[in-house]
Amino acid sequence: MGKGKPFLEVLASAIHEDYRFPFLEIFAFLYALGTFVFASFGVSITAIGATSQAMATANEVIAYGAVSSILSLPLLILIILVFKNIAYGLGSDLEKGIIQTYFSYPLKRWGILTAKLLSALGVALLLFLGIQISALYILAPDIILPQLGTVFLTYAASLSYPLLIAGIMLLLTLKLRRGGISLVVGLVLYFAMSMVSGIATIFAIFTENPISLQIISAISPSLVLQQYYIASLGDFWAPAFSEVLLYTGVSYVIVAAVFVLGYTYFSRRLNL
């Protein structure tokens, strides 16, 4: 058996389990349809000029607005798919002893987990980003091509928190060796963020102190990005671009730390 063959075996098996026909096709259909249905370029050029607190240029704001609009429901669909793959895909493999079979392959444990995550996260993200960015290009090439940086930054900031929850779910699934509870925890955490950020926003507006928003931005940088581009929360917080990059970077360091914990647990502590 070649060096890469066992890895491909595990990856192929994981993809086969995670995306049984026609689930992948249904999600592709929903992403494509959702992207066009929710796309909105309803940012007035004059309104942009009037937003004195916004630190970005008009074209950046339009690109940000377009990406944010198409992220609404399709992102929720992606999250459901990823959570299902991690909680049920990995959880059922642990319950049924399939992971134990993989351990007999001439493959390191981290290789097995990488193959499982590539299927659960990688394929879902590739499909999601591929369809959404292509659809945006079809709709408005002259907005998207010159503002690719803004487009990717918006995706990076918006995906950071779902990836963090995916990491926490991975840890929980490995620890509990079943997916049901981790799926519930993941969904609760995802929806709890909107409540927490709402409370933090009210606190920040009343105290005119952005500290609560800054703390949340460290795990969910879409908040700082929104404030940078459209300054919708008021003029008490005007983050610079470097600040946006910093918060996004910090959030991904946290995400990476959670996944490293998952890898460490899977490689050293998981006894089946």
Kindly state the smallest distance separating residue 182's Cβ from other proteins, in Å. Answer: 27
Q: Which residue type is seen at 15?
A: I
Question: Distance between CA 245 and CA 225 in Å, rounded?
Answer: 9
Q: Which stretch binds other proteins (CB under 8 A): 41-49, 76-84, 102-110, 163-171?
A: 41-49
42 binds other proteins (CB under 8 A): yes
Residue with Cβ nearer other proteins (81 or 204): 81
219 binds other proteins (CB under 8 A): no
Within 10 A of 17 (CB to CB), how many other CB atoms are there?
18
**Using CB under 8 A as the criterion, what x/- string covers residues 80-119 for binding other proteins?**
----------------------------------------
Question: Distance between CA 90 and CA 17 in Å, rounded?
Answer: 10
By residue count, the chain amounts to 272
Residue with Cβ nearer other proteins (16 or 260): 16
Residue with Cβ nearer other proteins (97 or 146): 146
Q: Which of 1, 2, 3, 21 binds other proteins (CB under 8 A)?
A: 21
CB within 8 Å of 90: residues ≥ 6 apart: 99, 116, 120, 170, 173, 174, 179
Interface positions, 56-75, toward other proteins (CB under 8 A): 59, 62
What is the residue whose two structure tokens read 């993989």? Answer: 102
How does DSSP classify residue 56? Answer: S
Q: Which stretch binds other proteins (CB under 8 A): 42-50, 93-101, 165-173, 206-214?
A: 42-50
Residue with Cβ nearer other proteins (42 or 106): 42
Question: Distance between CA 219 and CA 67 in Å, rounded?
Answer: 20
Three-state SS letters, 184-249: HHHHHHHHHHHHHHHHHHHHHHHHCCCHHHHHHHCCCCHHHHHHHHHCCCCCCCCCCHHHHHHHHH
Q: Which stretch binds other proteins (CB under 8 A): 140-148, 160-168, 194-202, 260-268?
A: 140-148
Q: Which residues are at the interface with other proteins (CB under 8 A)?
A: 12, 19, 21-22, 24-26, 28-30, 32-33, 36-37, 39-46, 59, 62, 127, 131, 135, 138-143
